[in-house]
Amino acid sequence: MSSNNPGFATLAVHAGAQPDPTTGARITPIYQTTAYVFQDSDHAAALFGLKQFGNIYTRIMNPTQAVLEERVAALEGGTAALAVASGHAAQMLVFHTIMQPGDNFVAARKLYGGSINQFGHAFKNFGWQGRWADPADPESFAAEIDDKTRGIFIESLANPGGTFVDIAAIAAVARKHGLPLIVDNTMASPYLIRPLEHGADIVVHSLTKFLGGHGNSMGGIIVDGGTFDWSKSGNYPMLSAPRPEYGGVVLHETFGNFAFAIACRVLGLRDLGPAIAPMNAFLILTGIETLPLRMQRHCDNAMKVATWLSKHDKIAWVNYAGLDSDPNHALQTRYSPKGAGSVFTFGIKGGLEAGKALVGGLTLFSHLANIGDTRSLIIHPASTTHAQLTEEQQIAAGAGPDVVRLSIGIEDPEDIIGDLEQSLAGI
């Protein structure tokens, strides 16, 4: 690459990768190994003491994983990244790094149903409290903050409704209260939105979705924006206090603007262990190479499908920010001018039973609990991904009984629409 700032598509193909120095292999190899030979005792001691960077054990780091981390950090505009086993694992390590028992964080109510469960139930076992705010009302986050609050969490593009969030307005609340803003950017990908440019401090992804893009590999990633002062308040001892397991090293003091990524690796991943498999890192890297091409096709196809559905007499409403009539359209054009994403919801007349009939009559669409595949996907959230929630919670999350969620793939749009048309005709 030239010394100038390379473009997004160039970074998607090249960032973090070089030909293998030993073999000359152009594609990043799959380093299918558990451990790495030390040069000598002093080299091993330097690695274990955080005095030198290098590979120790694949639970903590791996050369294939390292290329993936550098590439996603470059695409998001961050200082460093840590790839892990899943999006849920990424969220767990983020909060493990900033929270102590008795602490709380404030999260948007409109989130992926699995995140609502993780925050509302599983995190209680760590003594962490999740509080809820309205992503359409930035001041509702401020109302939930107290002296034990340690962060704010939102999705840039909310799942399942495809609702854009005013990141900058919520970032202003976070800054005012001295808190990091954590943004799940899974649904948008950095091709559409780069949250760090709008005031976020940390970005997380489920690599399983659009970044990998082919529905074949599980993974998650944490991107450190390098923008938050972890030492100022004294509320983040994992970063600002001496770490006894590393001879008293103060991570923020030692590693500066990539200290958060280091802390997640050497204090979280090391001990909790949700490591990404080298094969998965390789497959996700391969997927990222076509991210800009795929995301634009996803957006273009979704716009055509949403427009068609909005005119269908068996559809009550369509929630897609790309439509001029959508109340979220202004936020979409501000934050994501390239498109409104692949995932959106609509309401089918006839409610629950009609939704089931629609899903059952499709042949091209796959009925499964995933998004971000090259294939078009469909699900009825109230009976699947959000089934563990009460009906009131489902409605609050944009997943009420009449809601159908689509993840539009990269097939020919005429075929996608044709499949929906023939199934709707049978209802």
Residues 185, 52 contacting (CB under 8 angstroms): no
Dihedral of CA 221/223/228/234: which sign? positive
pLDDT, position 425: 97
Topology (CATH) of 16-287: Aspartate Aminotransferase; domain 2 (3.40.640)
Bond preceding residue 160 cis, omega within 30 of 0: yes
Helix (H, G, I), strand (E, B) or coil at 354: helix
pTM of the shown model: 0.95
Catalogue the E-assigned strands of 193-237. 202-206, 220-224
pLDDT, position 130: 98
Phi, psi at residue 317, to the nearest 5°?
Answer: -160, 155
Strand order in the sheet with 181-184: 80-84, 220-224, 202-206, 181-184, 149-155, 104-108, 129-133
**Letter string b/e over residues 69-78, b meaning 16 or more CB atoms within 10 A of that residue's CB:** bbbbbbbbbb
Cα separation, 386 vs 380, whole angstroms? 9
Dihedral of CA 269/272/278/280: which sign? negative
Helix (H, G, I), strand (E, B) or coil at 10: helix
Q: Distance between alpha carbon 192 and the CA centroid of its chain, in Å?
A: 13
Residues 177, 142 contacting (CB under 8 angstroms): yes
Ordered by start, the domain boundaries in the chain are 16-287, 291-425
Helix (H, G, I), strand (E, B) or coil at 27: coil
Cα separation, 116 vs 130, whole angstroms? 9
What's the N-to-C CA distance of the chain in angstroms? Answer: 55
Cα separation, 270 vs 84, whole angstroms? 11
pLDDT, tens digit, 9 for 90 and up, residues 206-221 = 999 999 999 999 999 9
User: Which residue's entry shows tokens 């959508």?
Assistant: 326
Contacts of 83 (CB under 8 A, 6+ apart): 65, 68, 69, 72, 207, 219, 220, 221, 276, 281
User: Which residue's entry shows tokens 């700032």?
Assistant: 5
pLDDT, position 127: 98
pLDDT, position 164: 97
Residues 348, 367 contacting (CB under 8 angstroms): no
Q: Distance between alpha carbon 296 and the CA centroid of its chain, in Å?
A: 18
Residues 406, 246 contacting (CB under 8 angstroms): no
CATH 3.90.730.10 is the classification of domain 291-425: no
pLDDT, position 122: 97
Cα separation, 309 vs 153, whole angstroms? 32
Return the closest-CA partner of residue 78 out of 276, 267, 254, 262: 262
What averages of pLDDT result for each successive group of 10 residues across the chain (427 residues)?
A: 81 95 93 96 94 95 98 98 98 98 96 92 97 97 98 94 94 98 98 98 98 97 98 98 96 98 98 98 98 98 98 97 96 98 94 89 95 95 76 76 94 98 96
Cα separation, 83 vs 76, whole angstroms? 14
Return the closest-CA partner of residue 179 out of 170, 187, 190, 188: 170
pLDDT, position 400: 82
Cα separation, 233 vs 202, whole angstroms? 18
Per the structure block, which two tokens stand in for 426?
A: 């049978």
**Angle (CA) 150 153 156, round 5°:** 155
pLDDT, tens digit, 9 for 90 and up, residues 285-329 = 999 999 999 999 999 999 999 999 999 999 999 999 999 999 999
Q: How many CB atoms lie within 10 A of CB 1?
A: 11
Asked, colleague to colleague, whether 16-287 and 291-425 share their fold, the answer is: no
pLDDT, position 391: 77
pLDDT, position 3: 55
**Largest pairwise CA distance in the chain:** 73
